A and B are shown apart, each in its own frame.
Chain A
């Protein structure tokens, strides 16, 4: 059992939990993820690590309450425990010192983006950030992002914060204004990452994305999470979840993400799926 040492609501749908998980906290690096089961009857769901504290032996997860398991998780409070919490899984994000990075986060994807940008900042990289969401309240971790970024730009569908439009509109605008980036890290719904990659490819800016396909074990034993990257089949759970976005077959990934759409109508977690 893994104790929930803190819980906080970030908005109506998104919550943060700090969980006591010594094995994961000791070893995890930005880009890696965990798999948890809420209780003995639960399914295994993957969540990217949003932060960690090696001293307190805690790992922070941020999740959107969208389906069966996240609803059950949401019913837990500080002091309660979750049944299983395993990790760190996947490869750490390939972060190297460059001059200037642009982080692009959509919705709950802002959570896994944060530790990557934080690490870049620590490496001495100049960080700009575009945060997007349906409306103001869907944008999370604003303070944390403001702290590590030189510039934070916002884009919301309804214009309630920043520009009215998509993160890609802001991206286009920055590029047109002559801003130069050596690397873009984009994390959010697949459709958003795909749109970002289409733009950055045109301008030849290397772009990393973090994929969140359907997973079961998360250790490479089933291949449920397979994705095509550069024409080759990769298992996102062991080879990823971060990949060169210009190599990813997004259409296939979106199709596979929707595999259980019928079954999960009002049932299973749909993290990463567009509404």
Chain B
């Protein structure tokens, strides 16, 4: 008899007032007992709508059944057939709009906590069971993967499992992409990311760090000189957008990318133990309403800022960030200053001292279906701030397209692909993730990497 409780088994969290003083993970994860209890809520329905909601098609009821019986190793192996980064996905996927959004238990009450269970299985496996991965036998076919983020990691893992000799080229000094430099420690511990990445590289994926494809080596050379038969491009969307308003180059104005990279990748929160500094003022304004804005705001709070504001031009309903992130931010005393748009950043002696904002009101829906914000004439006022973090989105880095003839991109700079195969306008060059879609989610990137791996395998097996 399934557990018919309407609510998910609660997951422990650090107290908001304590956690804003540290970078430790906010949510504490399930115990084995809690996981088994929650797993009991799954009805094991035949229609399995949850699997359809998962971009990488994890066999969800199957792994949950094993959890309900306490067989965590089996559960892990089932997940790993489709997903080698479950500890990450269980934490950062927007389950509410994917697997859990489709769960039949969600019609009356809360859906099964698929994300928390996936996370539990991965954490428990890594801590208690972890076995060495066997390196598959080589099929002597070489594939290059550009970038070390979620799309590339998934593509590389799937190909390596089939025996391809995969080399991954990463521009930074560490693999992981946004998992390392973007998502903060308190949402996704970096030690855990590294352990999970190792489960990919252990499959025999060769890693070349500090190589910027487009600068250090070109795509043409990967084929002609290095002998690769296919290339997957998962270079992401790492180019920050600015607002192009007066005062944006003042000291104290950061892109969210710079702010988060300093803190996450370079560990500036530990300055001076870590050599990279970050400036943090008394009053911080984060411009934007997505997950990156929430991450930046919550990071600023933890760095000791007294007052942190999210400044967003629409209202709360339109915030693109996950509901859970907004909730966590509110608990951590982040102030939501909504329906406001910055028009100028003001400084003294070259440093930010204020930000002039205009009030907005919502008009008719635009092409994205969201109500279009319109400025209210004459409503400008000056907000007292000393640090501004701009988190209004990223676009793909132009580096690759500028150095690769024949690689078509759309007007937003995203690589154009055949949506069935992820093949670009260049033969045997595939792409996926944010490089194709613009900034999206980890799991969609992984789904794209998976699709590309399948297409590459089919093509090279002919």
Contacts and interface: CB of A to CB of B under 8 A. Distances in A.
Chains A and B bind each other: yes
A263 B261 contact: no
Task: Identify the interface centre among B211, B258, B279: most chain A CB within 10 Å of its CB.
Answer: B258
Interface stretch (B103-111, B119-127, B234-242, B301-309): B234-242
Contacts of A259: 251, 279
Nearest to B182: A221
Given A222-B257, A233-B242, A233-B244, A263 B216 contact: no
Contacts of A222: 240, 255, 257-258, 261
Interface string B218-255: 00000000000000000000111010100011010011
Interface in B415-459: none
A252 B249 CA distance: 8
B209 interface: yes
B251 A256 contact: yes
B275 interface: yes
Nearest to A24: B216
A223 B211 contact: no
A226 B171 CA distance: 20
A23 B399 CA distance: 17
Interface stretch (B64-72, B266-274, B322-330, B365-373): B266-274
Contacts of B212: 86-87, 89, 219
A216 B258 contact: yes
Given A226-B249, A268-B277, A27 B239 contact: no
B171 A86 contact: yes
B216 A27 contact: yes
Interface in B94-142: none
Contact of A260 (B244, B274, B277): B277
B195 interface: no
A83 B173 CA distance: 9
Interface string B179-215: 0000000000000000000000000000001111001
Contact of A233 (B215, B248, B275): B248
A227 B266 CA distance: 23
A231 to B, nearest CB: 11
Contacts of B248: 233
Nearest to B238: A221
A84 interface: yes
A68 B272 CA distance: 11
A224 B398 CA distance: 17
Contacts of B257: 221-223
A150 B103 CA distance: 79
Interface in A196-249: 216-217, 219-224, 226-228, 233, 238
Contact of A44 (B251, B266, B350): B266
A61 B40 CA distance: 62
Given A23-B211, A41-B274, A85-B210, A255 B240 contact: no
Nearest to B259: A222
B5 interface: no
B14 interface: no
Contacts of B238: 219-221
A216 B251 contact: no
Interface string B358-381: 000000000000000000000000
Given A24-B216, A41-B274, A222-B257, A86 B251 contact: no
Contact of A220 (B244, B254, B399): B399
Contact of A263 (B209, B239, B277): B277
Nearest to B394: A221
A106 interface: no
By CB atoms of chain B within 10 A, which of A23, A219, A222 has the most? A222
B255 A255 contact: no
The SS class assigned to the B binding surface is loop
Contacts of B244: 233
Contacts of A216: 258, 261-262, 266, 276
B224 to A, nearest CB: 14
A42 B275 contact: yes
A233 B209 contact: no
B348 to A, nearest CB: 12
B275 A69 contact: yes
A217 B215 contact: no
A87 B215 contact: yes
A87 B216 contact: yes
Interface in A33-64: 37, 41-44
B249 A221 contact: no
A37 B258 CA distance: 17
A88 B262 contact: no
B397 interface: yes
A112 to B, nearest CB: 18
Contacts of A68: 275
B173 A223 contact: no
A134 B245 CA distance: 40
Contacts of B279: 259-260, 263
B172 interface: yes
B217 interface: yes
A163 B211 CA distance: 45
Contacts of B216: 23-24, 27, 86-88
Interface of A: 23-24, 27, 37, 41-44, 68-69, 83-89, 216-217, 219-224, 226-228, 233, 238, 252, 255-256, 258-260, 263-264, 267-268
Given A69-B275, A233-B248, A255-B350, 15 more contacts: A37-B173, A43-B266, A44-B266, A44-B276, A85-B210, A86-B212, A88-B216, A89-B212, A216-B262, A219-B212, A221-B240, A222-B240, A233-B242, A256-B251, A263-B271
19 contacts: A43-B275, A68-B275, A88-B215, A89-B212, A89-B215, A217-B261, A219-B171, A220-B239, A220-B398, A221-B257, A221-B397, A233-B244, A238-B398, A259-B251, A259-B279, A260-B277, A263-B279, A267-B272, A267-B277
For the complex of A and B, the 3 pairs showing the least CB-CB separation, nearest first, are A222-B258, A221-B238, A263-B277
